[in-house]
Structure formats: structure tokens, C-alpha cells
Structure 1
Amino acid sequence: YEAHVAPLEPDIIVLQVGINDLKTIPLFPERREELVTDCQDNIAAIVTKARADGALVILSTVFPAGDVPLQRRPFWSAEIDAAIVEVNAFLPTLADDSILVFDSYSLLADDEGILSSDYARDELHLNSAGYERLNEALAQLLGTVVESTDVE
């Protein structure tokens, strides 16, 4: 945060983080709870720093993971998906008038709770249609934020 965001002195920060912490759970299954808590604490720390700098924070939920390819399955676990849901359930506890939770998970998930194949480049990344879906929803939210605040 200090190196890449703070020097820009933004009025609004859109924050989407978490999956890289959570995808390590299968490598350290005995540390699952610690990894989830660390992820939550890291997100809260970034939000706290952004708010201390006066920025309005749009906090995105963690994206759903997509269909995991065969070669990645030995290093994957359903615990990752469960941890994503757990972290996403935590995020609203950070919300207030200056911290808005943006539910990207619901925008991108299919009926089974995984990243829709319509939006997936791979199991962790969006394709152009996924970014288009996100951008449309974010643009609408940002428009509402700008209209209701003195942020330009």
C-alpha cells in the first residue's frame, strides 16, 4: 500500500485481494484457520490505511475460483472455496459510510458457486467478458458514489 497506492493520494480506492493468500491452504492444511485469519487481517489493515489517508474504499469480495484443471488439482482443495466464502462473509464487518463492499463474487459466480466459464480465462483469472461485467457494475457504483459525495 505505502509504495504503490499512498503516493497517489487517491480519493477512491477499489480493493480486490485475497485469493493468493487463500490458494496456499492445500500446501499448509494444518494452518488453514491461520491463513484465513491472516487474509482477513491483511485486508482490514489495507482498508484502515486507506481510510487513514482519507480515501473512500470500495472493497470487492474475493472472486470465486473457476473450474480447476487436472494438472492443478493435486495443489487445490475445496477448502479454498470454503475460505473464499468465509473471507467474503467477513468483509461486510468492515463496511461503513466510507467503506463499501462490492459483491463481485455474486456477479461472477455460476449456479454452483464457481467462476462462470463465461467469465473465466483460467481458474483464477477473468477473461475480457469477466472484466466487462465487473467494469459495468463498478462504473454504476462509482457513479452513485460520485453523485452522493464530494469526490470527483
Structure 2
Amino acid sequence: MGSNIIELAKLGHERAAELKASCGAVNVRSLTQLISDLATQLEVQFVRSTNMAVQLANAESKCRELAAENAGLKAICEDRRTFIMNGVQLGYIKVPTVDTDPALETIRIAVSPQAPTPATDAFLAEVRAQGVGAAIEHLHKKFEGTGHIGVPVMALEWLAQEIRKGASL
């Protein structure tokens, strides 16, 4: 699409110059100016869209980084919660019996379920599914024309759908 826009803008400028050179009428000149202005605006919009595509790619990259970091933090929280709960169950950690003891609130917070993070979970599922998509592309390239990739590709497509649904596999 980008090269098409550039070609159209270049062609617009060329045609405007041709019209200016061949006709001296005022209406034609205003028409050539209009074509030239449109071609210029097309170029400007192309540059803007290219810049926005870069910004979007950077934002998506940052989201992937944040989601990975968040997933790591969630895993740490789950590990600590399990550790504390096991310690309480085995008697290594004594739960205070007085409600006003600050240690009791610390233990309650530590063992309480963490808040759900559906946006992070959905984003991570999509990242995983894209990894499966990359595997499908690899199979297509590597075994193209052999006729031996139908079943594996179908299985991977099913896997990507299940990952996107959030199924625990």
C-alpha cells in the first residue's frame, strides 16, 4: 500500500506539471494546483501513517514487555502464597489469635487470592497463540509442496484457538 501511495503522489505531481506546461487557461491551472495539493497531502498522510505504524509497533512491544513482567510477578505471588499457606498448615508459621495483631493482616493478605488480571491473561494468550501461528508459517515454508502438513497444521490451528479462548492445556 505504501509504495502505491508514493507512486500515486509522484504521478499526481507529474500530471500537474504536464497540465501546467501544456495549457495556459486559468481553470486548468487551478485544477493542476488542486492535483498538486492532493498529491502533497497524500505524501504527508503516507509519512504520518508510517510514523503511526512505528509508534503502534513500539506500543505493542511495550505491552508485551509489561505483560511478561506482570506474568512473572503473578507467578512469584502465587509461589509465596503457596509457601505461606504450607507453612501455616504444617505449623511452621503461627497464626496470631488476636484480631488486632498486625501479623494476622499480613498473613491474610499473603494467602488471599490475587486480583484477577483478565487483560494481562488475554494479552499473554494472544502472544502464545501468535507463537503457534509462527510455527504454522514455519511448517508451510519448510514442507511446502510435500502434502504432509495438513494434519499438523490443523492441530496447531486448533491449539491457537484454544489458547485464545483461555483454555488451560
Q: TM-score, normalised by structure 1?
A: 0.25
Q: Which has the higher helix share?
A: 2
Higher relative contact order (CA 8 A, sep 6+): 1
Larger Rg: 2
